[in-house]
Structure 1
Amino acid sequence: MRPTTSNEIRKAFLDYFHEMRHEIVPSAPLPQKDNPTLLFTNAGMNQFVDVFLGKEKRAYKRATTAQKVMRVQGKQNDLENVGPSARHHTFFEMLGNFSFGDYFKREAIDYAWGFLTGVMELEPERLFATVYTDDDEAADLWTRYLPGERILRFGKDDNFWEMGDIGPCGPCSEIHYYSGDLADINPAGVNNDNIPGYVEVWNLVFMQFERQKDQSLVPLPHPSVDTGMGMERLVRVIQGVESNYDTDLFTPVLSRVQQLLGDSDAQRDANYVGYRVIADHGRAATFLIADGVQPGNTGAGYVLRMIIRRAARFGRKIGFHEPFLGEVAQVYIDQMGDNYSELRQRRDLILHTLRREEERFNRTLDKALLHLDELVDDLHRRGEKQIPGDVAFNLYATYGLPLEITRDVAGEQHGMTVDEKGYNAAREAHALASGSGAFANYVVGANVYSDVLRALIDGGDLDESGVDYDPYSGASLETTVLALISDGQRSNAAHAGQRVEVVTAATPFYVEAGGEVSDTGRITTPGGVEMRVDDTRRPVPGLIIHSGEVTTGELKPGDMALLEVDRARRADIRRNHTATHLLHRELRAHLGRHVAQAGSLVAPDRLRFDFTHDKAVDRATLGRIEAAVNEAILVNYPVNVAHMGQKEAIQAGAMALFGEKYGDIVRTIRVGEDPLPSPLPGGEGIRGSLQGGEGNGAPYSFELCGGLHVDETGEIGLFRFTGEEAVGAGVRRVEAMTGRGAYQFVAERLNLLDRLAGKLNAPVAEVEQRLEALLEHDRSVERELDAAGRRLARGQFDVLLGGLMQVKGARVLAAQVDVANVERLREMADWFRDRVPSGAAVLGAVSDGKPFLVATVTDDLIARGLKAGDLAREVAKIVGGSGGGRPNMAQAGGRDPERLADALAAVAGLVDAALKD
């Protein structure tokens, strides 16, 4: 039966290519971590970059994916078209099939034709193929399916694809579909936006060249295939509708929005732009949050915040007054959660984040838009038609109004544009790299590590999978030294005192991943060579290097060697790593199921854990979480490792981390079963602490993880928090210690407490009470000293009032007084204003070897031109400093106390010069 729904079409595509011996590879996350030139995954081939470049080997040569894609910035920015356009989106799905040096043009064309006409049952007479101008091979292959008049040739802009300025590239062949009356079919409609009814559904890229720096093309030794078909376009064609938004990818959300608003069909049609923006942006935000992005001011976080706020603004425009995007997200979670399990797994986080960001924006939106209207009115009065860039940026910096919303409102309501170049200049940190070429920052060609790996594989020293990596079976291993790398070059020997990178046939050393740091240790040989291993890295997939210094003898390739991990250090790391799993579980139990891991560091001396949460965790709650973690440690749960299918693990409830790459078979860490309630003091019991139904016979903790762990939680010993702070919008960080580190931390604190008790001559239990008594006594003494200082100052002030000068009818005081701080000086200035109805005073003092002054002027003299800020500024120059303030009160400071008398002597002249008769 012909697939017709979007879920059926996606499944049919993947199943079809799986039958054609393609590996179904899960979608890569939207945020790009491996390519610094990309903010988001913007094509299906992004996750296969290293495979296409020959830097990575996979267990398969054919792959197929349904890839999540974001195109919202750079050259591929579709944002402004979202809403008015029937086909533009910020987020969409890209269906693709890939060949890594396996099949080429013939098979790619055959597979595409077979899927479209066989599985999708599209009428062949409605299909066109385009090829590159001189790609006769592809044109000839298409003649097996299409008549010559429906095989069209186009130039580089349409039918030649390149990864970047240099690197793999090649011609491509697009497949176009005509949906109109067959009697009107016309080849001139292909690639012509002026003739409706023609849509490009698939692009087959034939990577057969490598473009050199001189722009010449060199044939690739293993030509490859990269195809991309927009899911939304294909569904539109199959379902026979005119707009992507009329497909079942969007209609459930649009109907839910209509239901929430209570709109009639006519009202929905009238507000179609707002409906589409909400549907598109709501979907994009849902997937971004599920992939670990949180709203922020830069990078991916800025994009997420911008699309949430843009959707909220359009929602307000069509009738929403309360947060609504959670309802939109829930439809997508229900609709697409079976295909993208992260949606269901992170449902609470998605809904929590959307509501929080909508509420935050709603609090400032009215004020921001009112300010924008005032700015626009002022610009109109001056005859200007463009909002300056710095003004637009100030709207963002002050009111949180993204540039995109300012641009929308300016255009829709006022017919104005925004100086975006000026905006970017004002917001230098806003230079977000995206869409500028998927391979722009990748080094094309060989490097020492890939060369060494390839040589070892070709020489039979390693198989295609590379170094045998097994940090799980033990902490020592006998193996063979295969290669040495020194100063970026392969070396034949390494001598004592020399730093070197060592490649062995196998290794028990753990390589940093998932936040857990690499192992250290040593390498020794039967001949007496010894090397200290300071770090272990994986510079290219399949190659592991041990970096350190040879301390004894001479190490050579071919030597048999014993690799030994620092066992004590590894044990500390294992304690901290398992503790992060317990911590993750208890954070969710105590703070809510929106909590998700957003980063971690697992080191021997401490652990650091970042998690999604929008407010500080108070000391009492931290105490309850700490108690619950220690309770789980004391229960001594078994920690079990098991390998299982990724989909099965996720369906069974295993937690997966944001942005991590997982294969089809995953390693899972299961801690215990549902525990018994036996709370520690300050805790509330592990079972009782659960929220939202975790438990019920489920494991205490169940996560996907490739790291090292203890065998039983009791080995952790003790868990102790050492800090909590914010690290970004919606992300908190806690730090903690376990085992030996926690013992040392607690012991030092207890010893400090004992020392304090000794100094206070009090039992430990009474230390707090004794300290509070001492502090209160100290505060009482300070109050008495302050009162005495005020009395002395009042006495000085009363004496000074007897020596007021007369300057142009104004009473003027300029004197040095003996006070300890500027606050007392300001108080004396207030006394002057209370006692002298019309006058000016400048009072100075010296503290810690530096002069400081306070000036005050009554309101009537301000009206005559005398200002305290001006007085402070001028006298400050004399003492080598600066000053200023309000017209009625100002202060100054300087560096030269010897000139204070001169500064005060100048006051009368300054007053005389400033006062107007």
Structure 2
Amino acid sequence: MKSKDIRNQFLEFFKAKSHTIVPSAPMVIKDDPTLMFTNAGMNQFKEYFLGNSVPKSNRATDTQKCLRVSGKHNDLEEVGHDTYHHTMFEMLGNWSFGDYFKKEAIQWSWELLTEVFKIDPKNLYVSVFEGSDDADNFGLDTEALELWKEIVPEDRIIYGNKKDNFWEMGDQGPCGPCSEIHIDIRSDEEKAKIPGRDLVNQDHPLVVEIWNLVFMQYNRKANGSLEELPAKHIDTGMGFERLCMVLQNKKSNYDTDVFTPLIAEIERVSNSEYGQNEEVNVAIRVIADHVRAVAFSIADGQLPSNTGAGYVIRRILRRAIRYGFTFLNTKEPFIFKLTEVLSKQMGEAFPELRSQKDLIQNVIREEEASFLRTLDQGLVLLENLMKDSKDKKISGEKAFELYDTYGFPIDLTGLILRENGYELDEAGFEKELNKQKNRSREATQVSAGDWEELSEVEEEAFVGYDQLEADVNIAKYRKVDSKKKGEMYQIVLNTTPFYPEGGGQVGDKGILMSADGEVIDIIDTKKENNLIVHFSKKIPSNPKAELKAIVNNTDRARTAANHTATHLLHQALRSILGKHVEQKGSMVQSNYLRFDFSHFSKLTSEELEKVENFVNARIKDHLDLDEKRGISYDEAISEGAIALFGEKYGDSVRAIRFGESMELCGGTHVRNTSDIWYFKITGEAAVASGIRRIEAITGEAAMNYFEEQTSILNDIKSGLKNSNDPVKAIQNLQEENSALKKQVESLLKDKAKNLKTEIKAEIRQIDGINFLAKNVDLDAGGIKDLAFQLGDEIGDLFLVFGTEHNGKAILSCYISKNLVQEKELNAGKIVKELGKHIQGGGGGQPFFATAGGKKPEGINQALQEAESFIK
């Protein structure tokens, strides 16, 4: 069976069992602070398990793209070295939200595997939770056991412990026992030697778990105790790649048609061969896996960067580049070429790979080129570390600096050191790495108490599109403690006018006021698992009392103006630059807006002016807001609405139209474009390859900007003695300055010429070397010219010059090239050592180098020491 047929057959099987097929959620998570990426099929349904939302259908099935590279689920270092772990993978699942439970889940899983997919039951093992004698004091899951006994012989049932057979969402939340289904695809000879049940959960590559059936029936509270959920749910997950391995009679996931097209393309573009050498095999598996993870992440809106989720994606891509560099001898970008094959292969199931293919290619190509430059730089730095090492051992601290500051992979450092007979202090490196991890963990550590439930949340909880004040009650609240932000409260209201952060727009601020005048400041509003959560430093003295929720009207109005401006800006860019422009991210605050978009080149000043004029023309047109709430996604798209990539839309959406600009959007907007007042671009720059960023201001911020510019212009006029034509006056000053510069340069040349004559007389010989260390009154450029002129005229020359310029110390060293080779002198190392006297550092080439420092009084001491390098 082809992989696409396997996927379709799974979905159709559960569709026939009255399940709704739902699309995969984006792999990048936007409204759950506990996760960066979707790491399990249940993530997009979390709000249903938590009871925050009611699903439209009680039964669902899907294939969910997942990424496991951080936290508890981190398979990154195993990827490539074995044949069944992956970073990005598909998880096939079927779900019941308070509908069917263990009986149906177990029966249908067996029916699908053995009757539809025709897997031999003799190759399958199942597990049940054996119970635990810890604080939870669970007993054996007898219900699941009895159900399995009706289907399989008892010798095929394995009793699993809490680690293997009790699934938890996290430290808190829904959880429950589970049954895993494992398959043994070894040969009959191997099975005769060791029973398959003895290899279950033992990391054997051919005895693997393919399906996990989670029976979600408990809620884990903050204090560790459990309570029964009001409704029982089913959450299953089956590894698509492993299932394909089984059904295609392969011994490795990488031998299935999920990966073979990619592997064939890697062989072609890298001139390598899979299956001939284990190091090459590992490298090809790493690249084939990692390009999928990176491509899907970019398609879902996460670009590689230096922080957060973007750093994780960059790290995955760099791991792939490094394996190609070391084991496939690829010194030029090549991974980006694989996206063509990937989009053809998986674009039908995941159309975002096709629609974002050009962006994915551009970003990966640029990242490859950048990291290959980093590798070249790192190789030079590592070579210098080896030269400076006296005991052929590189400290963990130095290796960590290479890794952390320059992005040089530690395994590559170790490999190069071993090849050159050097040793790496691995324990020291791990110590530095753990320090960094602990700092990061402490900075993001958050502990939360249990929710204190007071009332129900209304079905349509958000009323902030139409009103900025509302009479409310607290539905629930809890205390949270963050290392970064300290102690605060999360408050959920039964209804709220506060807009929660989303779609690039910041969350509202404001107050909650009680009838007796008590005021609670709301400092932020976010959406977490479909709950609107208000953040505050305290809760009302009487949490059950009715309150008035009041949004900060000034901030909301400014933010709404900026949000509407982003829509008009998007329209302007598509009209002026072309339809290839797509929004790739935004930030909308009360004081400014930021808009990222796809475009291949820097905007010219003329283009920026056209964009500004386009937006301001729409502002002057006084366009009214045309808002449609609750219309179907398909209807909105058919009317011309733009949907943003990486966003998850439901069946019912909200469309915002201003004139010809129409987008799907949940943010707040002005009633008429005239409320924006004016739009002014303040910056344009690159974010990544093929991605540009515009920053802009509107309204009062634009007015303040113009007032500031007017003030600056008045100051310039004043400095020019109130010139009526400041532009002409500045041009005259520039011309005068240019003429004076030429005069100064001429004088400096004469000075240097006279100085050269003096210096020649002062040069003395030491052991056959012409040496001079001297304080000279020239700038850095003049010193360099003088040193090279002397070097052309005098052989075997060793010069050290010092000077003070603008309160800073400068040391320069020149060494004739023959001395560099014959005497093993190095100007870079010498100025680095002498730079200690001026509290500075520097470097350069072996024959000329410069150091700068903040202690001019140390120059003479440095010059005195210079002679010691040739004695």
* TM-score, structure 2 as length reference: 0.74
Q: 2:500 touches 2:527 (CA, 8 Å); kept in 1?
A: no
2:165 counterpart residue number: 159
- How many equivalent residue pairs? 844
Which residue of the partner structure matches residue 589 of structure 2? 603
Deviation at 1:707, TM superposition (A): 0.4
Please say if residues 593 and 696 of structure 2, whose CA atoms lie closer than 8 Å, have aligned partners that are also in contact: yes
Matched residue SS, 2:733 = helix
Structure 1 residue 143: Cα displacement: 2.1
> Could you report, residue by residue, the CA deviation over 1:335-384 in whole angstroms, capped at 9, with x for unpaired residues?
4334334323323211222333344456677x5898799899999x9999
Specify the alignment match of 1:346 in structure 2. 356
Residue type of the partner of 1:357? E
Q: 1:90 to 1:719 in 2, by over 3 A?
A: same
Amino acid at match of 2:258: L
Shift of 1:144: 2.3
**Residue deviations 1:13-53, cap 9 Å, x none?**
4455456565655434334556666553322234455655x
Give the gaps of 5 or more residues in structure 1: 490-498, 674-699
CA offset at residue 92 of structure 1?
Answer: 0.9
**SS of match in other structure, 2:298:** helix
Within 5 A, what are the aligned runs for 1:723-872? 723-725=683-685, 733-746=693-706, 748-750=708-710, 752-753=712-713, 756=716, 760=720, 766-784=725-743
Instruction: Give the structure 2 partner of residue 286 of structure 1.
Output: 295
Q: Using the alignment, how far apart are the partners of 1:294 and 1:622 within structure 2? A: 25
Could you tell me whether the CA contact under 8 Å between 1:850 and 1:893 is conserved in 2? yes
Is residue 231 of structure 1 aligned with residue 240 of structure 2? yes
Instruction: For CA contacts below 8 A with separation 6 or more, give which structure has more relative contact order.
Output: 1
C-alpha change, 1:177 and 1:456, in structure 2 (3 Å) is: same
Q: Deviations over 1:421-440 (max 9, x none)?
A: 55555567974999x9xxx9
| Matched residue, 1:202 | 211
Name the counterpart of 2:195. Answer: 188
**Corresponding position: 1:663 with 2:662:** no
Distance 2:370 2:865 in 1: 51
CA deviation string 1:611-656 (max 9, x = no partner): 5678765655544443444455556666543344446767887555
Residues 404-553 of structure 1: pairs in structure 2 closer than 5 A: 422-425=428-431, 431=437, 443=447, 446=450, 450-451=451-452, 454-457=453-456, 462-463=457-458, 465=459, 468-475=461-468, 479-480=471-472, 506-519=495-508, 535=523, 537-538=525-526, 541-542=530-531, 545=534
- Kept in 2: contact 1:873–1:892 (CA 8 A): no
**For 1:284 and 1:572, how far apart are their aligned partners in 2?**
38
Decide whether the 8 Å contact of 2:655 with 2:662 is kept in 1: no
Worse overlay, 577-586 or 245-254:
245-254
The whole-number CA distance in structure 2 between the counterparts of 1:349 and 1:216 is 48
Aligned to 2:85: 88
> Deviations along 1:395-435, whole A, 9 cap, x unmatched?
76798654466679999x9999987655555567974999x
3-state SS, counterpart of residue 142 of structure 1: helix
Q: Distance in 2 between matches of 1:183 and 1:808?
A: 80
Provide the secondary structure at the position in 2 that maps to 1:456: coil
- Contact (CA 8 Å) 2:454, 2:476: kept in 1 or not? no
5+ residue gaps, structure 2, are: 131-139, 482-487
Residue 232 (structure 1) shift: 1.8
Correspondent of 1:69 among 41, 58, 66: 66
The Cα offsets for residues 99-155 of structure 1, whole Å up to 9 and x where unpaired, read as 456544333223323443555455656544222334333111112222333333344
For 1:687, the equivalent position in structure 2 comes to none
Cα 1:913–1:114 change in 2 (3 A) is closer
Residues 1:10 and 1:654: Cα distance change in structure 2 (over 3 Å): farther
Counterparts of 1:81 and 1:554, CA distance in 2: 52
Distance 1:116 1:505 in 2: 45
Q: Secondary structure at the match of 1:469?
A: coil
The 1-side partners of 2:500 and 2:615 are apart by 27
How many Å separate the matches in 1 of 2:415 and 2:826? 46
Look up the equivalent residue of 1:201 and give its one-letter code: I
Contact 1:871 1:910 in 2 (8 A): no
Letter in 1 for 2:656: I
Structure 2 counterpart of 1:781, one-letter code? L
In the alignment, which residue of structure 2 is the partner of 1:574? 560
Residue identity opposite 2:141 in structure 1: D
Q: Aligned with 1:174: secondary structure?
A: strand
Q: Secondary structure at the match of 2:145?
A: helix
Are 2:154 and 1:148 aligned? yes
Percent identity of paired positions between Structure 1 and Structure 2: 38
- Displacement of 1:7 in angstroms is 3.6
Q: Compute the displacement of 1:283 (Å).
A: 2.1
What's the CA shift string for 1:524-568, capped at 9, x where partnerless?
A: 89x896969765625765456596999xx999966685x665655
Whether the 8 Å CA contact 1:31–1:293 is kept in 2: the answer is yes
Structure-2 change in CA distance of 1:294 and 1:773 (3 Å)? same
**Deviation, structure 1 residue 292:** 2.2
User: Does 2:119 match 1:130?
Assistant: no
| Counterpart check, 1:705 vs 2:693 | no
Change (3 A) 1:118 1:666: farther
Q: String of CA shifts for 1:657-680, please: whole Å, max 9, x gaps.
A: 56655433222334544xxxxxxx
Q: Is the 8 A contact 1:159 1:174 kept in 2?
A: yes
Task: Determine the C-alpha separation between the residues in 2 that align with 1:326 and 1:851.
Answer: 47
Aligned partner of residue 707 in structure 1, secondary structure: coil
**Counterpart Cα distance in 1 of 2:476 and 2:208:** 55
Structure 1 residues 190 and 409: CA distance shift in structure 2, 3 A: farther
| Cα pair distance change 1:556/1:80, threshold 3 Å | closer
Residue type matched to 2:102 in 1?
K
Q: Distance in 1 between matches of 2:265 and 2:670?
A: 48
Q: What is the rounded CA distance, in whole Å, between the counterparts of 1:152 and 1:338 in structure 2?
A: 39
Structure 2 Cα separation of the partners of residues 666 and 847 of structure 1: 64
Amino acid at match of 2:86: H
Alignment map for 1:629-640 (pairs within 5 Å): 629-630=615-616, 633=619, 639-640=625-626
Distance 1:548 1:574, change over 3 A: farther
**Larger Cα-atom Rg:** 1
| Worse overlay, 153-162 or 140-149 | 153-162
SS in 2 for 1:780: helix
Cα distance in 2 for residues equivalent to 1:364 and 1:866: 27
Distance 1:826 1:911 in 2: 18
Q: CA deviation at 1:737?
A: 1.1
Aligned to 1:722: 682
Question: Among residues 39, 52, 56, which one is paired with 1:56 in the alignment?
Answer: 52
Other structure's SS at 1:582 match: helix
Shift of 1:709: 2.1
Query: SS of 2:454's equivalent?
Result: helix
Measured in 2, the distance between the counterparts of 1:397 and 1:183 equals 49
Partner of 1:679: none
Show the counterpart of 2:258: 249
Question: Would you say the 8 A contact 2:480–2:490 is kept in 1?
Answer: no
Q: 1:200 corresponds to which letter in structure 2? A: E
Distance 1:487 1:162 in 2: 22
